[in-house]
Structure 1
Amino acid sequence: MSSTTLNTPAVRTAPAYRLSTKGVIRSEWHKLWTLRSTWITLITASALVLAVGITMGSTYDGDDSEIDTVVFTLFGTQLSQICLAVLGILVTAGEYSTGMIRSSLAAVPRRAPVLWSKAGVFTAVAFTVSLATNIVTFLVAQIWLADTDKELALTDPGVFGALTTSAVSLTLLSLIALGLGALFRSVPGAIGAFVATVLILPEVLSMLPFGAVDTAMKYFPAQAASSLGSVARVEDAVAPGTAVFTLALWAAAIMAAATTLLKRRDV
C-alpha cells in the first residue's frame, strides 16, 4: 500500500515594515509642499519684505541716516515674521484641525519623530527663504541707496552676517510658533499665545519699575531678536551670539514641552 505525500505550499510572509527617520522627514517635506497655504504664506512673506525694502530705498531722503542700513532695508521682516509664525503654527496645529494628525501618528507610533521632522523641515525652508529674500531685498534697495550715506556692498564687513542673523531670528521665532501650535493643538489658540508671549507680555512687564525686570526682558524672544540683523552692535541689547543662543533655548524648551505632551496626550 503506497502513501500519498501532500506538499503544503510555503506561506510567504510580508517583510516587516521598518520605519526610518529619512522616511518620516520625506513624508513631512511632501506634506509641507502639497499645502496651498505654504506657497501662499512664503510668497506673501517674501513679497512684503521686498516691497517694503523697495519703498524704503526709493523714498530715502537722508532723514533716517542714524538707522543701520540693513535694518533700514529689512523693515519688512516685521511683517514677514507674522506670516512665517502663522505658517509654523499651521504645520502643527493645522493637522489637528483637519484630523490628519491621526494618520501621521498611526504611521509613527513613537510620535516624537513626527514633531521633530516637522520642525526640521520647516526650519530649513524658513531659513532658506528668509536668507534669500533678505539678500535680494538688500541688493535691490541698494539700487536707490547708491551714492547716499546708506550705500553698502554685500561684501562689506558685517553686511552678510547681518542678513544671515536676521534670517536666523525669523526662523527661530517661527520655530517657537510651531512649538506653540503643537502645544495648543489649535490654530487660533497658538496664534494668541504667540502674540501674547512675544509681543504683549514684554510690553506689560516693561511698565514695572524694577531693574531686574528690564534685564530679564532682554532675554525674551522679540527683544533678543531685535539685537540681530544689524551691522553695528545694538545698544542696550544682548550680544548677537547671546541672542541666537537665547532664541534657540526658547525654541528648544517649547519643542521639548510639546514633545512630552504629544507622547502623553490622546490625539
Structure 2
Amino acid sequence: MTTPAITPARVLHSEWHKLWTVRSTWITVLASVGFLLGVGILMGATYTSDGGDSDVDTVILTLYGSQLGAICLAVLGILVTAGEYSTGLIRASLIAVPRRLPVLWAKATVFTGVVLTVSFVAALVTFLTAQLFLSDTDQAASLADEGVLAAIAGTAAGVTLLGLIALGLGAALRSVPGGIGAFIGGVMVLPEVLGMLPYDAVDTAIRYFPTQAAGALGSATPMETAASPGAALLALCLWAAATLIVPALLLKRRDV
C-alpha cells in the first residue's frame, strides 16, 4: 500500500480540519463577532447628534468593538501555533510533514482566510445594523459613501494582520502565555509607552506600529495624525512577515 503524497492541498486541509475541531476556535471567533456587533449596536443605539461625537469617523464609531475583537482573534492566532506545542501535537504534524515549513505556511494561510472572511462579514453586518439607529443623526452613512466600504474592508484587514502577527509570536515563542504576553506588551502597550516620549521622530515612527497602522485602515476619512492607508497596510504586512520569518528559521534549525 503506497503512502499518499504530501501536497500543499493536503497540508491545508489538515490545518483547516485542526482549526475547526478545537473548541477554542469557536469561542474566540464567536466572542470576536459578539464584541464587534454588540459594541456597534450599543454605539448606534446610544448616539445623539448633540453628544459631542459628531467629529468621530462614522466607520470608527460603529466598528469600535473591533479593538476587542482583534484581541480575541489574536489569542486564536497564538493558540493555532503555540497551542500545538503545549499539547505536543506539533510532533505529529512535523513527522507527517518532514519539510516543516509547509505546516507553518498552511496554518498562516488557513488562519488568514478564515479571519479575513469572518471579520469582513461581521464588520459589514455591524455597520449596517448600527446605521439603523443612526439614520436620523449626523452620523448617518451608507456603503455608497466615499471611503466607507474601503474602511470596512480595512478594518477586517487590520484585524487579520494583527492576528497573523500574534500567530507568528506564538510560533516563535512556542508558549501560549508567552505569546499572549508578547502581543499585549509588545504590540499593544509598548507604542503607548513610547508615545509619551517628547520626540517628533518617535511620534512619526509609532504611526507605523501594528495597532496604530490597523487603526488608520479603519477610517473612511483621512486622519492627520495617522499614516496613509497604503503606508499603513504595507507596514502591517511587513510586521506580519517579520514575525513569521523568525519561527520559520527556528523550525529549520531546531529539532522540534
Q: Shared fold by TM > 0.5?
A: yes
Residues matched between the structures, number = 254
Q: How many Å apart are 1:148 and its aligned residue?
A: 1.1
Superposed displacement of residue 233, structure 1: 0.6
52, 62, 69: which one aligns with 1:73 = 62
Letter matched to residue 93 of structure 1: A
1:24 aligns with 2:17: no
Q: How does 1:228-247 map to 2 (within 5 A)?
A: 228-247=217-236
**SS of structure 2 residue aligned to 1:209:** coil
Out of 115, 135, 143, the position equivalent to 2:124 is: 135
Residue aligned with 2:138, SS: coil
- Find the counterpart in structure 1 of residue 114 from structure 2: 125
Q: Aligned equivalents of 2:25 and 2:205: distance in 1?
A: 35
Give 1:112's aligned amino acid.
Answer: L
Corresponding residue of 1:48 = 35
Displacement of 1:238 after TM fit? 0.9
Match of 2:201 in 1: 212
Q: What is the distance in 2 between the residues matched to 1:181 and 1:91?
A: 8
What letter is aligned with 2:135?
A
Q: Which residue of structure 2 aligns with residue 87 of structure 1?
A: 76
Whole-Å separation in 2 of the counterparts to 1:136 and 1:209: 41
Q: Report the Cα offset of residue 153 of structure 1.
A: 1.2
Of the two, which has the highest radius of gyration?
A: 1
What secondary structure sits across from 1:227 in the alignment? Answer: helix
Higher helix share: 2
Task: Give the corresponding residue for 1:34.
Answer: 21
Cα distance in structure 1, aligned partners of 2:195 and 2:230 = 24
Q: Which amino acid letter does the alignment assign opposite residue 71 of structure 2?
A: I
Q: Secondary structure at the match of 1:89?
A: helix
Determine what percentage of the aligned residue pairs are the same residue: 59
- Which residue in the other structure is 1:170 paired with? 159
Q: Which residue of 2 aligns with 1:3?
A: none
Quick one: which of 120, 129, 138 aligns to 1:149? 138
- Give the Cα separation in 2 of the matches to 1:158 and 1:215: 24
Q: After superposition, give the CA deviation of every residue in 1:143-168 in whole Å (9 maximum; x if it has no partner).
A: 11012111111222211111000000
Paired letter, 1:222: T
Per-residue deviation, 1:16: 5.1
Closer, same or farther in 2 for the Cα pair 1:16/1:48, shift >3 Å?
Answer: closer
> Is 1:96 aligned to 2:85, yes or no?
yes
The amino acid across from 1:58 in the alignment is: A
Match runs of 1:102-117 below 5 Å: 102-117=91-106
Q: Which amino acid aligns with 1:154?
A: L
Structure 2 regions of 5+ residues with no counterpart? none
**Aligned partner letter, 1:72:** L
| Amino acid in structure 1 at the alignment position of 2:25 | T
Q: CA RMSD in A?
A: 1.0
1:15 match: 2
Distance in 2, Cα, partners of 1:195 & 1:261: 23
Q: Deviations over 1:110-153 (max 9, x none)?
A: 10000010000000000000000001001111111012111111
TM-score, normalised to structure 2's length?
A: 0.97
Q: Which residue of 2 aligns with 1:10?
A: none
| More displaced stretch, 213-222 vs 80-89 | 213-222
Tell me, which stretches of 5 or more residues in structure 1 are unaligned? 1-13
Deviation, 1:101, is 0.4
Q: CA deviation at 1:249?
A: 0.3
Instruction: Report how far residue 61 of structure 1 moved.
Output: 1.0
Q: Please name the residue that 2:183 is paired with.
A: 194
Q: TM-score, normalised by structure 1?
A: 0.93
CA deviations 1:188-245 (Å, max 9, x no partner) are 0000001111122112222223222222111111111121111101111111011011
Deviations 1:159-182 (A, max 9, x none): 111100000000000000000000
